[in-house]
Every structure is written in structure tokens, then in C-alpha cells.
Amino acid sequence: MATYLEFIQQNEERDGVRFSWNVWPSSRLEATRMVVPLACLLTPLKERPDLPPVQYEPVLCSRPTCKACNIDMPALIKLFPSFQFPPAYGGISEVNQPAELMPQFSTIEYMIQRGAQSPLIFLYVVDTCLEEDDLQALKESLQMSLSLLPPDALVGLITFGRMVQVHELSCEGISKSYVFRGTKDLTAKQIQDMLGLTKPAMPMQQARPVQPQEHPFASTRFLQPVHKIDMNLTDLLGELQRDPWPVTQGKRPLRSTGVALSIAVGLLEGTFPNTGARIMLFTGGPPTQGPGMVVGDELKIPIRSWHDIEKDNARFMKKATKHYEMLANRTAANGHCIDIYACALDQTGLLEMKCCANLTGGYMVMGDSFNTSLFKQTFQRIFTKDFNGDFRMAFGATLDVKTSRELKIAGAIGPCVSLNVKGPCVSENELGVGGTSQWKICGLDPTSTLGIYFEVVNQHNAPIPQGGRGAIQFVTHYQHSSTQRRIRVTTIARNWADVQSQLRHIEAAFDQEAAAVLMARLGVFRAESEEGPDVLRWLDRQLIRLCQKFGQYNKEDPTSFRLSDSFSLYPQFMFHLRRSPFLQVFNNSPDESSYYRHHFARQDLTQSLIMIQPILYSYSFHGPPEPVLLDSSSILADRILLMDTFFQIVIYLGETIAQWRKAGYQDMPEYENFKHLLQAPLDDAQEILQARFPMPRYINTEHGGSQARFLLSKVNPSQTHNNLYAWGQETGAPILTDDVSLQVFMDHLKKLAVSSAC
């Protein structure tokens, strides 16, 4: 019999789903006592090379309130008793079952032939207030990207600085652009009028039948198929100049990011609503004028910090955030997504703009300069293709969640917006974005992952019969990068279990990794709106309650505290989560926090776990590389450490190794093994770098190096200057911090868990 671990992995492989609980407590009361809610991480577009899409359309459950797509296992027929096989399934027999009825097809993908296919759209929104080098690098990246785009994709170009220019791409000879003032907020209607996208009212009424032909004509002035204008656009990009308006000493350049985005949104809104489109914003600094400005142009007034925000001293923040939220919501409504590529040494206003990417499923990339491999590779990686040769991106998805009646949907956390579809399976208690059973995900890729939270509503006095199963169906409509409409349906069923009698079962089916990530998402979601300490307190309380519930201990005896295997790692995750930049803003700018949180809310379980608790590998002569504890005690003189925090890859040479390298042993033929040792982490790091999106910051440092702080800030400070001598150990490296170590944390946790006070 397979272990739960295998079961969980198998499920993840097949369906892209990880539940916090894999056996469900059968009543509402019991479920709430479980502390960790019944929830799952769903990766709607998980790559399934073995899953070819079927060519017909799904059959819907005929009960109007249900509209579930179909059924994967005969058992589920019981759960959806109203299901009737339609005529298309007439040929069903024991040997010729439709794919839906085969167990391995709990996830199935349909291609829809109906409807006009519209090309993908890429609208570049480019900041020209950059340093010459940066602009040059950006221009080259953009020119390069043209060759990566599907040839029939439409591209558009908007540049901005003090003014915003929408470039017309169709004309010969004179290059033409529409210019907008960077300080004036315009409505979508005004923008469309000014771009000449709206036909005068009179002719439109008269010539309504002709209009469909005219419509693409008008918009194609700004959005053109790549294959037609790539030469033209390459030249245009090549001729792009830095914003010519003079910037006096002590001033920031005037940057109209807010208006530029607004125009980009308005342009697509007017021309291609509800089709797959990416607005790609490249910016090299904070918006300094107009709606959405984040900081004034006086250099002597620095951009807001967390300190300012706490002191309510960030005077532009609220207004700017409102502006970008409005844009993000409009964009989401249109089914487009906004990517933000912000490359600057200082902050660029990601805090205010984050919603643009967060709500629309766009990417957010933060770097120091466009002239770094971090940006260049990341940007290139957007256009990578999967095993079928398709782009790893999908657009305009709606995720529809259906549950069997014992469950209700509490909410979702991820790159999505609510579609406000109320229904009987929608819970009144919201976790994350709730109050709906459908969400819109405007842009997603195979790793985009949502946390979806449920509520068990079955009453205690209405027990579910033994062997009963609960079912959840995820229906994802989306536009594939090949511009086809597709529907992916994943149907999940889990056993109900009575807590009283089957607690062991439930415990064993606890997925602590998924639970940690799901709880972390809840915590981060709260942190966006609540004070940091409150969130920490809430997390702590949850942890303590969980320990109380599932720990084995004698009251008031901390030493007796034990956790079963399926819970043992959970407190450690929580410890690292508390220290992570997702909840701690100390030492991070608001932009960095926004950036980290953005990625945390969309990556899959593995990546999320890396973010919560970075992975540390140790390389030595003593054997093959091994994962070691993320602890200061792992920092040894004769080791090389490789740490992956998702955002950074750190290679750290121990003191001795560093000395050896300095002495140049690696160049001596007799010390070739040392050379190999040095090389090994580099190779491994390269492997991670190749696969990761966004490309992590790559740090190669050594004992005593200034960059070693990246490592030191992450490891568990088991040895600090406070306890170093008390411990009297020679191994490891002391960390100069007052943070509590994992050991102290655990001690406290045990004490609190066993105390009867709380």
C-alpha cells in the first residue's frame, strides 16, 4: 500500500493539486478544530506531457445550478446524481470508455473549436528616462524579443518619459506617434478618441455591417503583426532616444508611468477586449509626475520607506495605489495582463504598482539595471517554449470551482481577481479573495499556483456514511498560447473521515508542506492589509493551536512534547516564515517586500517552500554534496555552501577553502580535485539559474565577504555572539543577531503548547 506521501505526490503529478488535508474531517465543527483549513494549492496549467487535449467539447451537468463539467470516475456519478450521458457518449461500453471515465484522466483538457481566434498581443511600454547604457541594453532586449514572438502576434510600442508616445507602426516614411501629456489622467474614452480609435457616432450607425472590417483597421495602426513590421519596429526601437527634456541638477527625470500604463490599458481596452494580451512595462525609476506618481522630482526628498509608511508619511502612496488598482481592475476586466520589469538601483514604485501584476497575473521582475543578465535572461525566459513548441503562457483564464454539497468555497489567494459569481457553494467566510466561485486569471503559466480555501459545512449531526467521498472540480477556461480556447477540468475526490474515530487517519493524511505554504499565503495576504506584528501573532497562535491539537504531551511538561512525522517539519517552516521577507519588512524596501510577496503568491509548492525555508547544500572532500541544516552550525571552514532562497543563489566558500583558492591551489595540477570541488557548486547553481523564473540574483562569496550577509541572514542563528562562548563549540559561525534561534523558538512553542493557560 502506497504511503500518503506517495499518494500526495502522485496527485500533484497528475492534477497539480496539493491539499492540506487529504482525508477530510466530516463536520464543520471538527474541521475548524483542525486549525489548518481545508485548502489546496492548485496549479491549473501544470504541464502534463502525457495528457493530450481531447478534441471535443465537454458535457455539462444538466442541473442548472451545478454546471459541473463531467465526471471522472464512476463513483462520482453518485455525487452528481442528476448526470445524464449525452448522445455523444452513445458508444460507451466497458472497453470503449470516454477519457473522462478513466481513472488516470482525473484531469482532462478540451480544445474548443468555436469562436474567432485572435492573435496574441504584446504591448511594450518603455521608459526612456534611462541611462544611455540601460536604454541601449533594453532596446537590444526588445529587438531580440521580436524574433521570439510568434510571427502572427500583434505588437505595439508605447514609450514614455515626460510625455507618453504611442507609436504608430503601420506607416511608411515618416514615423508617427501620438503624444500625450504625462500629467493628465485620461478616461478610456478620451484616450480612444485621441488615438482616433473611435469612429464618429454618425457613420457608425449608418454603416454598422461594415464596422467589423473597419475595426481591426483602426487598431492596427498601433498593433501590428510581428512578421509585417519587425524590420520597421527594430529600426524604431533603434532610434529611440533618451527622454530629451532636460533634467536639472538635483531632480529626478519626469516619468509618466501612470499615464503611460493608463494609455496602454485604454488602447487595448478599446481595440482588443477579452483577448490574450500582455502589457509589458519596462521602467527604470519611480513615476514622478501625473496620476500614479510615487515620489516628487526633488532628489532631496527620498522615495517612501517602510518607516515613512508606518508614520503615514508617504504622501503619494494612497493616491498612486488607487490609480494603479483602478488600472489593474480594468485590465483584469478586459482579460489582459500587465508585466512590470523594473530595473533601477533605487525603488521604482513597485509597492504602488504591484496590483497591476498581482491582479492580472502578470510578471514582476526587479533588477538593478537592464544591462544585467538577470534582466536579459529573465526577459528571454518569458518567451521559452514547452515540449510542444508552444509558449508557456496562457491568457484570460477563468477558474471555476465546484464542490460537492458538504463543502463550500471560502476564497483563493493567487494572481487572480474575483468574478463575483455567487452560488450555493460559496461560503460566507472569506479566506483570501472570496465571495465567489469563479476567478479570473488574466495571465498564467504552467507554474502559476493558486491557494484555494474551503470550508466544510456538513453539520455534525448529519454524518456522512462510511466511505463517503467529497468532490471538488476545477474548471479552467483559458486561451492557449496557440490562441485556441481550451478548458482543463480537474476533478478531485477525497474520503471523509470522522474525527472522533479516525483522527489518526486524518493526521497521517496531513500534508505539512502544503499546509505551511497555504498558511503562509494566508499570512502574507493578511500582511498586505494588517500590521506586521498582528500577522505574526496570528501565525503564532495558529501554530500553537495546531501543536496543542496534534502534539502528544503531558500538560505543563514541555519536555514531553512530541509531534508525529506528518507534523514534525511544520513548526520549522513557521519559524523560517516568521523570519522571511514576506512577513518581515526590516531591511527591505517597500518595493522589495512587494516583489517578494508577488512571487510568493504565485509560485508552486516547491518554489514556495524554498522561499520559506531556503535550501542549503554543503560541498566538501568528505563526500558528495549533501543538504544540510539551514543553521549557522553548517557554516564550516572546509565546506562550500550553496544556498538557494529562490531570489538569490549564494555560493559561500568556507574560510579554509577561500584561503586555498586565494593561494591558487585550484590551478595546480596536483590539486585538481580541489578545482573540481570549487566547480561543483557553480555547476549546480547554473542548473538552478537555468530553470528558475525570474532569474535569481547570483552571489558568489566567501567567508568574510560582504555578500556573505545573504547567507548569514537566512541561517538559523543557533550560534550568536550571545551564546557562542556559552556553547563553547568550535564549529560553525556565530551570527551577530538578536533574533531568536530555532531552538529557542521551539522551546517556547513547547512551553506554550503544553500550558493550559491558552
Partner 1 sequence: MQISGAVAPAPPSSGLGYGPPTSLASASGSFPNSGLYGSYPQGQASPLSQAQGHPGIQTPQRSAPSQASGFTPPASGGPRLPSMTGPLLPGQSFGGPSVSQPNHVSSPPPQALPPGTQMTGPLGPLPPMHSPQQPGYQPQQNGSFGPARGPQPNYGSPYPAAPTFGSQSGPQPLPPKRLDPDAIPSPQLSELPPQQKTRHRIDPDAIPSPIQVIEDDRNNRGTEPFVTGVRGQVPPLVTTNFLVKDQGNASPRYIRCTSYNIPCTSDMAKQAQVPLAAVIKPLASLPPEEASPYVVDHGESGPLRCNRCKAYMCPFMQFIEGGRRFQCCFCSCINDVPPQYFQHLDHTGKRVDAYDRPELSLGSYEFLATVDYCKNNKFPSPPAFIFMIDVSYNAIRTGLVRLLCEELKSLLDFLPREGGAEESAIRVGFVTYNKVLHFYNVKSSLAQPQMMVVSDVADMFVPLLDGFLVNVNESRAVITSLLDQIPEMFADTRETETVFVPVIQAGMEALKAAECAGKLFLFHTSLPIAEAPGKLKNRDDRKLINTDKEKTLFQPQTGAYQTLAKECVAQGCCVDLFLFPNQYVDVATLSVVPQLTGGSVYKYACFQVENDQERFLSDLRRDVQKVVGFDAVMRVRTSTGIRAVDFFGAFYMSNTTDVELAGLDGDKTVTVEFKHDDRLNEESGALLQCALLYTSCAGQRRLRIHNLALNCCTQLADLYRNCETDTLINYMAKFAYRGVLNSPVKAVRDTLITQCAQILACYRKNCASPSSAGQLILPECMKLLPVYLNCVLKSDVLQPGAEITTDDRAYVRQLVTSMDVAETNVFFYPRLLPLTKSPIESTTEPPAVRASEERLSNGDMYLLENGLNLFLWVGASVQQGVVQSLFSVSSFSQITSGLSVLPVLDNPLSKKVRGLIDSLRAQRSRYMKLIVVKQEDKLEMLFKHFLVEDKSLSGGASYVDFLCHMHKEIRQLLS
- Residue 253: Cβ within 10 Å count: 20
Answer for which of 49, 81, 244, 623 binds partner 1 (CB under 8 A) is 244
Query: 532 with 578: CB under 8 angstroms?
Result: no
| Rounded distance between C-alpha atoms, residue 163 and residue 184, angstroms | 10
Closest approach of partner 1 to the CB of residue 260, in Å: 14
d(CA 403, CA 546): 26
CB of 132 to partner 1, least distance (A): 15
Which H helix or E strand runs over 643? strand 640-644
What is the nearest approach in angstroms of partner 1 to the Cβ of residue 265? 17
Residue 55: exposed, middle, or buried by beta-carbon count in 10 A (0-12, 13-18, 19+)?
exposed
Nearer Cβ to partner 1, position 165 or 479?
Answer: 165
Query: What is the smallest separation between the CB atom of 249 and partner 1, expressed in angstroms?
Result: 18
**How many other CB atoms are found less than 10 A from the CB of residue 616?**
23
Q: Does 245 participate in binding partner 1 (rule CB under 8 A)?
A: yes
- Strand blocks (E) in 346-468: 364-367, 394-403, 407-413, 417-418, 438-444, 450-456
Report d(CA 143, CA 149) in Å as an integer. 11
Neighbours of 267 (CB within 10 A): 27
- Of 184 and 311, the one with the shorter C-beta distance to partner 1 is 184
Q: Which of 246, 467, 623, 664 binds partner 1 (CB under 8 A)?
A: 246
Q: Pick the stretch among 140-148, 239-247, 269-277, 696-704 that binds partner 1 (CB under 8 A).
A: 239-247
Residue 623: CB atoms within 10 A of its CB come to 8
333 alpha-carbon distance from chain centroid? 19
Question: Computed from CA positions of residues 278, 284, 290, 296, in that sequence, does the dihedral angle turn out positive or negative?
Answer: positive
Work out how close the CB of 208 gets to partner 1 at its nearest, in angstroms, rounded to a whole number.
19
User: How large is the greatest C-alpha to C-alpha distance in the chain, in angstroms?
Assistant: 90
**Shortest CA distance to 515 belongs to which of 442, 574, 558?**
574
**Residue 577 dihedral angles phi and psi, to the nearest 5°:** -60, -40
Least spacing, CB of residue 236 vs partner 1, in Å: 9
Q: Which of 163, 332, 509, 695 binds partner 1 (CB under 8 A)?
A: 163
| Cβ nearer to partner 1, comparing 78 with 199 | 199
- Closer to partner 1 by Cβ: residue 191 or 265: 191
- Interacting positions 167-206 with partner 1 (CB under 8 A): 168, 173-181, 184, 186, 193-196
CA 647/CA 698 separation, integer angstroms: 9
User: Which segment (71-79, 163-171, 456-464, 684-692) binds partner 1 by CB under 8 A?
Assistant: 163-171
Residue with Cβ nearer partner 1 (174 or 736): 174
Least distance CB 125 / partner 1 (angstroms): 17
Shortest Cβ distance from residue 283 to partner 1 (Å)?
20
Q: Which is nearer to partner 1, 252 or 480 (CB)?
A: 252
Residue 132 is a binding residue for partner 1 (CB under 8 A): no
Stretch that binds partner 1, among 121-129, 165-173, 408-416, 428-436 (CB under 8 A): 165-173
Tell me how far apart the alpha carbons of residues 516 and 570 are, in angstroms, rounded to a whole number: 6
Window 545 to 564, contacts with partner 1 (CB under 8 A): none
By CB under 8 A, is residue 239 in contact with partner 1?
Answer: yes
Distance from C-alpha of 81 to C-alpha of 228, rounded to nearest angstrom: 54
Q: In angstroms, give the least distance from the CB of 178 to partner 1.
A: 4
Q: Binding to partner 1 by residue 165, rule CB under 8 A?
A: yes
The secondary structure element, H or E, covering residue 157 is: strand 154-160
* Binding site residues, partner 1, CB under 8 A: 163, 165, 168, 173-181, 184, 186, 193-196, 239, 241, 244-246
